[in-house]
Amino acid sequence: MPRTILVVDDDPHIRHLLVFALAKAGLDTVEAADGEAALAAAVSVPAPDLVVLDINMPRLDGLEVCRRLRSTGGEVPILFLSSRDDEIDRILGIELGADDYVVKPFSPREVVARVMAILRRTAARPPAVAGAAGPIRHGRLSLDLDGWRACWDGIEVPLTVSEFSILRTLAAMPAKVFGRDAIIDRLHGPGFAITDRTIDSHVRNLRAKFAGVGGGDVVETRPGIGYRLGPCAGAPG
């Protein structure tokens, strides 16, 4: 079935450009010209499979749209567009739960490629883990690989695609320390151009979400090396 992409931008030229490029890639599209329309479309039936979301919009900007979607447990993947190549904006967007970020002016091909990569990660079945039958369990953490669900003491903790992928990577080999480059390769494939700071932001997001349910020890930092799965025994954030 074709995937549906919600394209949100207050500039009609940009919306039409993206709709045309996404349609050529075989994707259905829905348009929204402002943040309020985007929120309504994001929870429509059927809901979109991904949101391409401009940050700089009047009335209700993209960051606030993302914040509201995530505050209600919405897990739809989000690709941010911004006219400012500002690292603070990028980090804030990732910390709010965005899955990727493209700076204007952009190539429609690049946006389509990023969209397709996110959709593949969403639809892909996680690889089998040696010695694991069914969910991965470690301490009070459990991961349902087929359902892309993370739980702490049986309570689901809503994660974005990237956050779940990082946690799945760490949980599959709990004794291994993963460098940031290795995590990027697992998420996006070799050669994908994102910064170490983006991985750090995803990990901060993971920690904050699990700390809220008593799982402040879900990810462990090894200074100068990277990250590995924590003991998951339960600790304050």
Cβ-based burial of 152 (10 A; exposed 0-12, middle 13-18, buried ≥19): buried
142-154 residue pLDDT tens:
999 878 889 999 9
Confidence of residue 1 (pLDDT cuts 50, 70, 90): low
pLDDT in tens, 30-40: 999 999 999 99
In angstroms, rounded to a whole number, what is the distance separating the alpha carbons of residues 180 and 1? 35
Reduce the DSSP state of residue 217 to 3 states and report it.
Answer: coil
Predicted confidence at residue 7, as pLDDT, reads: 97
58 pLDDT band, cuts 50/70/90, is confident
SS3 content of the chain, % helix, strand, coil (to 5): 40, 20, 40
Q: Do domains 4-123 and 136-229 have the same CATH topology?
A: no
What was the pLDDT predicted at 202?
86
Neighbours of 198 (CB within 10 A): 23
Q: How far apart are CA 88 and CA 131, in angstroms?
A: 41
Averaged pLDDT, 176-182:
86
3 state SS of 112: helix
Q: Enumerate the domain spans of the chain.
A: 4-123, 136-229
Residue with the larger pLDDT of the pair 123 and 200:
200
Q: Round the average pLDDT of the chain to a whole number and report it.
A: 83
Tokens 């994001």 correspond to 42
Q: Reply yes or no on whether the pLDDT at 3 is more than 70.
A: yes
Q: pLDDT above 90 covers what percent of the chain?
A: 39
Q: Is the omega angle on the peptide bond into residue 105 within 30 degrees of 0, that is, cis?
A: yes
As a whole number of angstroms, the distance between CA 161 and CA 49 comes to 12
pTM of the model: 0.59
Query: What is the reported pLDDT for 171?
Result: 92
Residue predicted with more confidence, 62 or 84? 62
| Gap between the Cα atoms of 65 and 137, Å rounded | 34
Q: Which residues pair with 226 in a beta bridge?
A: 222
Yes or no: say if 135 and 172 are a contact pair by the CB < 8 Å rule: no
125 or 85, higher pLDDT:
85
**Average pLDDT for 167-172:** 91
pLDDT at residue number 129: 40
* Residue 90 clears pLDDT 70, i.e. is over it: no
CATH of domain 136-229: 1.10.10.10
**Interval 98-115: pLDDT, tens:** 788 888 888 999 999 989
CATH of domain 4-123: 3.40.50.2300
Asked whether 236 and 185 are in contact (CB, 8 A), the reply is no
Q: In what order do the strands lie in the sheet with 155-156?
A: 136-138, 141-144, 149-152, 155-156
Residue 121 has pLDDT above 90, yes or no: no
